[in-house]
Amino acid sequence: MTDALIVTEQLTKYYGQNLGVADLDLEVREGEIFGFLGPNGAGKTTTIRTLLDFIRPTSGTASVFGLDSHKNSVDINRRIGYLPGELELYKKMTGQELLKYFAALRGGVDWLDVGMLADRLGFDMTKPVKALSSGNKHKLGLIQAFMHRPDLLILDEPTTGLDPLMQQEFYQMLLEAKEKGQTTFISSHILPEVERVCDRVGFIREGRLVEILTVADLKAKAVHRLELVFAANVPQADFAALEGVKDVVVEDNVVRCTVAGGLDAVVKAAAKYEVVNLISHEPNLEDIFMAYYEEGK
Ligand SMILES: Nc1ncnc2c1ncn2[C@@H]1O[C@H](COP(=O)(O)OP(=O)(O)O)[C@@H](O)[C@H]1O
Ligand SMILES: [Mg+2]
């Protein structure tokens, strides 16, 4: 038994002629927060719905907790907290009634946990669901996903519709879940939203997995924008020839450039002269993300 909680092998789903996902090989490790990133229509929801056995794959397999996602779907679903991308709710019930109903389905939940989650998210349980704003429906969805302390959280675009303050609270909830040993699989189409909490991210595009990277590796691959200020003028040639260095602009004693990968070579080249200041701008992960999608097929 490996420490992988989710394993898909050559997972493929066609909706008639329409491709959902193709040949997806994925492993989500126990205890990690895994970000599943891709633009709309990439196949994120299809993958998730297959894991939960809401739809059957055309070919390939999926397992969760080492169990077959179809044959053992009841056992699997008991241990999962799931936030669907689009939540269908019984509109006549109040939030509290609905949460009690979900709790009963899961064989009982500590109601203190529910109250605490509602407090954190500022959710009013007494209102009928039909009177809730979309943001509040989303909170209800989060509460039901977290309330039974599931081993695995599967969250389909969970930050959509949350205001920035609530997003912070939500990230905090994720990190706390991780501390408790829970595993999270979170889909998103916005990288900066999830990269700060994720351990690894997988990029999916047009139904196919592009790459899986740790967030640390992702940052190492990133392009830095660098500004070096020297005590005197420096020759452009010293910097333009360096590997991974591009867009070198020299204005008197200031050098600006972009650097892919490590900064070591540039720093060493700069050290030949008297350096007054060195400013490195945080790599823009959105740029890397876009680069993956623009590379073409
Ligand atoms: N029920 C369906 N019938 C036909 N095509 C579908 C259905 N659900 C999804 N698709 C198609 O599968 C592809 C992947 O969709 P989806 O998994 O929802 O992407 P994502 O969640 O990443 O936005 C899209 O091209 C979408 O149009
Ligand atoms: Mg989706």
Which residue, by CA, sits nearest to atom 5 of ligand 1?
Answer: 15
Specify the CATH number for the domain of residue 178.
3.40.50.300
Specify the CATH number for the domain of residue 267.
3.30.70.1560
Shared domain check, 228 and 214: no
Question: Which amino acid is it at 48?
Answer: I
| Digit-coded pLDDT (tens) for 212-266 | 999 888 877 777 889 999 999 999 999 998 988 989 999 999 999 988 877 889 9
| Digit-coded pLDDT (tens) for 119-160 | 999 999 999 999 999 889 999 999 999 999 999 999 999 988
Shared domain check, 244 and 211: no
- CA distances to 22, 23, 183 from 206, in Å: 9, 12, 26
Question: Which amino acid is it at 39?
Answer: P
Per-residue model confidence (pLDDT) at position 160: 82
Which residue, by CA, sits nearest to atom 14 of ligand 1?
Answer: 43
Shared domain check, 87 and 103: yes
| Digit-coded pLDDT (tens) for 4-31 | 999 999 999 999 999 999 999 999 999 9
Number of domains in the chain: 2
> Is the distance from the beta carbon of residue 202 to the nearest atom of ligand 1 less than 6 Å?
no
CA atoms of 32 and 230, how far apart (whole Å): 44
Shared domain check, 278 and 175: no
Strands 152-156 and 59-64: unpaired
Which residue, by CA, sits nearest to atom 7 of ligand 1?
Answer: 15
- Does the pTM surpass 0.85? The reply is no
Shared domain check, 129 and 57: yes
Torsions phi, psi for 84 (to 5 deg):
-70, 155
Q: Where are the alpha helices (DSSP H) in the chain?
A: 44-51, 73-78, 95-105, 111-121, 134-146, 164-179, 191-194, 215-221, 237-240, 264-270, 285-294
